[in-house]
Structure 1
């Protein structure tokens, strides 16, 4: 038996974090639970995984034929506030996990529910203290870390969510464009690019009712800068192992649209993220950690700390298993009731990831697509040019 994956996607103050995405509260909860399915990309045949629903049989066969996923799936349904709560309240599922005697437990994030789950399955002490998880994920903490480690940082101005207008409009008199981020965020949900008073007003309307995410930090928008994400696995005792990196693809309003990886990574970003990972591990951080870094030429600036799995973690896991040189993730429109058979018809079977595993399309988040209206696709290739060529082929097919 390998490890047990209990990939409950949830965050502190999640209702506020995702409010800007315009989902109803009940809808975003369903979406987050459905996103658990993407952890199949990180599983191997020796692992087990707990999911809120069984995956599409054709999709699971597709993954297994390419060395991804597992047939050891424990389905756990519930009405809890998040999927981790559902698993905690499912005694037959917990007993099944205990019988499997997993060697390790993999979680999306380490909060109170994950701490309890680790104890229940016989792996106590393997998660980050929940209070530390909350601390590490806050922008306040990153600012303190910048001072402690004497890091170069982009100057920020702080403003309350209920009193943004004066501060931000004053900054726009000095700068053509601003980048504003909340003290907590995920996937750009609390990040905004502002160009004029209209943008300030629109942002203010979205965040004025916040009860928990009440502090925002504004800085001059750096044109031409790149956003990178560096991921590590921490041991909680100062050690960190580099897991992978990707460049973030951002759309209008700084919304995260995908990632591209392969080839080299910027030296400055690697050096900076290693420092951050080492310090977080020294302070007790365990498991997955991601550092978002802004690269302005060769200069690297810290942007965000993620004491959890990151959006690109499942695709990086697949890339490592497949030994695929390059990838890019994109979203395509998905109809309700999407099945894997429909996906094959949409993109063409010949374009799917080949059994050798190094080139082609790898769809994921199939279960969530019916709720979000979009399907995620990782495009793998032997070179950036091949990935781009396959992307153009995908655009023609949809």
Structure 2
């Protein structure tokens, strides 16, 4: 009988392995020497050792999942327990027990990491859903809102998955937000289309009236009406682009037709009125030269009336010189009026009496203040001296102005 520390070969060729539970048969050997039998079954043991070492290395150096590790350990445990091999099978079992503990610890760690990852995934998707709901409820910038909603859907797809129940509940909210946004946008544009159609109808009416007025020769009233139509056009809003461009082209064509005809008539009329402008230029020059030299306002007023009559008889002015000539003549009329007002104030008895009363009052006030000043100086009261001098200075200034006004009335 041939033996080694972990097994033996009986005389009949039966091969045994020794374990903590006793000996068990692992095979028989009839083909050669007993030492060869033990060597053969030791090689089978070495193969098991290699598998255990490989699993130990994988568990230490890779992210092998706990479930895969435990499954591999169970398979190896069965292989070691039933192994047809000679070696320290109890030591291999102890190593597998140690691997089991490590795998169980990894299982706990992986479960915690998985829970944390699901929590983080839930938080990420909660944020995505919350923003999608905000976009759906608040945004009125439909283009940027639609782009943001698409980005949020992409972010959702790229985000890690939470647990199934949370994932389904959040996706239900996400889908509802997307549908709500689509409904609001659709309703907005439907309302906008309706509004644009209403604007188009209003502008059709404006254009129809503009075209009806294009042949009018009532230049003043029609020009005013075109201004009103333009204000209505601007205030009515915008129709769709195609209708807007088409209607504006018709409106402008009608307006241009009227104003071109009016301008042609006015140009012809202005040419006829050049002679009136020349006559009024002459009247203006004569009035400027004569009226400022008339000292008597009543005489100046009488002479002005003659110029006014001549001005009216000269007839209307062309548009390009109307404002300038009319403005210059109004200045002459204003100068004559101011001279009349000044003369009236100068000769008004009531005004002269009031001016004289003001002068007398100020002179009396100065005499009274002079008395106060003399008393203050005699008493050596510097404060009262200063107050009296300041009051007298003010009264003298007022008296000077009052005397000047009185002199102008003399």
TM-score if structure 2 supplies the norm length? 0.15
Q: Which has the higher contact order (CA 8 A, sep 6+)?
A: 1
More strand by share: 1
| Higher-helix-fraction structure | 2
Structure with bigger gyration radius: 2
